[in-house]
Amino acid sequence: MTPTDRLYYTDALRTTFDAIVVSAVVVDGQPHVTLDATAFYPSSGGQPFDTGTLGGRQVVDVRDGADGLVAHVLDGPLDVGQAVSGVIDWPRRFDHMQQHTGQHILSAAFEHTCGARTESVHLGTTSCTIDLAREVSAREIAAAEDRAAAVVFEDRPVRVRFVSEQEAATLPLRKDPSRAGTIRLVEVDDFDLSACGGTHVPSTGRVGMIAVTGWERFKGGSRVAFACGHRALAEHGRLRDLVTELVRQMTVAPADLGSTVERLQSEARRHVKTIRLLREEAAGHEAVALVAAAERVGTFRRVITSRPGWEMGALKTLASAIVAHSGCVAVIAGHDTPVSEGTPVSLVVARSADVSFDSGAWVKRVTTELGGRGGGRSESAQGVVSVPLDKVLTFARATVQ
């Protein structure tokens, strides 16, 4: 079968075309058709596929098939030999063109400014990343971003040409081509030359802008997230709204947000320490009363009580204060906040040093019989169960003895 004529190879701006259906099959309940020619880009090279309509049917996927064929997955069947018109979803296509051309520019900018080579690329429908061969600093990222912006503002031509495998071997390609035979090259005038089968804008100015949105260490190098064109504008809008809201809430100037957050974090750490000390002091006083009223069972006194709305840390503090007294076993159950129907019950079990009760074994028993998870040592353990609080307390009174 003759390979599909890929119209997007030479005209990425084309949004309509006419073609003939040359094959039609159903795979996993979905109609798949191939055409003699198509402007629909299939998922390939890290770039997502185009959507739109074909013969009045919705195109839900486009796949690069065997023998150079392009398979169109539709929401309804078409007949072999049928003449059809295709319409590309232009906003989606243009978004992909902006991201892909922007990626070429940004990858080349990293090589030009700091010699960081791009190892792999991901161009998603919502996020894009490039993985660099080495770690890069914030300063290097800023330099590459500035260089990429300059290329965009200069509105350099972006050209497509085809060369033989032998000719490609003599050219200064940014990355060696992954296929043999005739090779499609995308060139950003006097800046980048790459083998690529994707769709691109005709000049760098149409990328609009290239913004690095984040980065992280990744497999010995750096993973750099970026956004181009309309996506970059949308990202700017989200950041603007976030900063505006933070400025309003904190009543500070945007330039003072960083120092204000640092101050609030420092204050929060001090408050947490103060709360912990006060909690321990209050737990000590409460433990005295609970131990005094504790029920004696065999060789120890047991304290079985609940504290609805308490988080696990507070339950541990109270249990520790109780078993600081000799001859005690404590079972403290409660809910994390906010409490609602079906909220899991947190529980802490602990024993005094002179008691032989096995807290870890008891938690294993309660979580097995009532359903949940947990564990710990003989002296203390904790768990979470998914039954009502009163059922947990009833179980504890029947088994802690």
Summarised one tens digit per residue, pLDDT across range 186-238 is: 999 999 999 999 999 999 999 999 999 999 999 999 999 999 999 999 999 99
CA distances for 366 relative to 203, 320, 347, 386, angstroms: 68, 20, 10, 11
Supply the pLDDT for residue 386.
86
Per-residue pLDDT band at 360 (split at 50, 70, 90)? very high
Instruction: Write down the CATH number for the domain with range 5-88.
Output: 2.40.30.130
Class of the 94-247 domain?
Answer: alpha beta
Are 148 and 169 in contact by the 8 Å Cβ rule? The answer is no
CA distances for 187 relative to 104, 177, 196, 206, 306, angstroms: 9, 14, 10, 15, 70
Beta strands 37-38 and 16-27, pairing class: unpaired
Supply the pLDDT for residue 338.
54
Residue 341 has pLDDT above 70, yes or no: no
Cα(190)–Cα(113) distance, integer angstroms: 15
pLDDT digits (tens, 9 = 90+) for 342-355: 678 999 999 999 99
Supply the pLDDT for residue 138.
96
Residue 258 backbone phi and psi in degrees, to 5: -60, -50
The pLDDT of 279-303, averaged and rounded, is 90
| Of residues 66 and 161, more confidently modeled | 161
Supply the pLDDT for residue 142.
97
Supply the pLDDT for residue 17.
97
The rounded mean pLDDT for the chain is 93
Q: Where in the chain is the domain with CATH 2.40.30.130?
A: 5-88
> What's the CATH architecture for 281-399?
Roll (3.10)
The pTM of this model reads: 0.73
Q: What are residue 43's DSSP bridge partners? A: 63
Supply the pLDDT for residue 180.
82
- Kindly tell me the burial class for residue 52, based on how many C-beta atoms sit within 10 Å of its own C-beta (0-12, 13-18, 19 or more): buried
Are 119 and 133 in contact by the 8 Å Cβ rule? The answer is yes
Q: What own/partner pairs with CB < 8 Å and gap ≥ 24 does 126-130 have?
A: 127/225, 127/227, 128/99, 128/102, 128/103, 128/225, 128/226, 128/227, 128/228, 128/231, 129/223, 129/224, 129/225, 129/226, 130/103, 130/106, 130/223, 130/224, 130/226
Supply the pLDDT for residue 336.
65
Per-residue pLDDT band at 175 (split at 50, 70, 90)? confident
Among 98-107, 124-133, 202-211, 328-337, which is the least confidently predicted range?
Answer: 328-337
Q: Percentage of the chain surpassing pLDDT 90? A: 81
Per-residue pLDDT band at 272 (split at 50, 70, 90)? confident
Q: Which ranges constitute the DSSP H helices of 228-344?
A: 229-250, 257-292, 312-323
Are 229 and 236 in contact by the 8 Å Cβ rule? The answer is no
Cα(319)–Cα(303) distance, integer angstroms: 9
Q: What are residue 21's DSSP bridge partners? A: 35
The pLDDT of 151-180, averaged and rounded, is 92
Beta strands 300-307 and 328-335, pairing class: parallel
Q: Percentage of the chain surpassing pLDDT 70? A: 98
48 alpha carbon, distance to own chain's centre: 18
Supply the pLDDT for residue 24.
95
Q: Where in the chain is the domain with CATH 3.10.310.40?
A: 281-399
Q: Which of 125, 129, 35, 36 is nearest to 89 (CA)?
A: 125
Supply the pLDDT for residue 240.
92
* 95: enclosing H helix or E strand: helix 90-114
Q: Where in the chain is the domain with CATH 3.30.980.10?
A: 94-247
Residues 188-217: b if buried by 16+ CB within 10 A, e if exposed: beebbbbbbbbbbbebbebbbbbbbbebee
Per-residue pLDDT band at 340 (split at 50, 70, 90)? low
Are 76 and 57 in contact by the 8 Å Cβ rule? The answer is yes
Per-residue pLDDT band at 329 (split at 50, 70, 90)? very high
Residue 333 has pLDDT above 80, yes or no: yes
Residue 310 has pLDDT above 90, yes or no: no
Please name the residues in contact with 137: beta carbons below 8 A apart, sequence gap of 6 or more: none
Supply the pLDDT for residue 276.
80
pLDDT digits (tens, 9 = 90+) for 38-97: 999 999 878 999 999 999 999 999 999 878 899 999 999 999 999 999 999 999 999 999
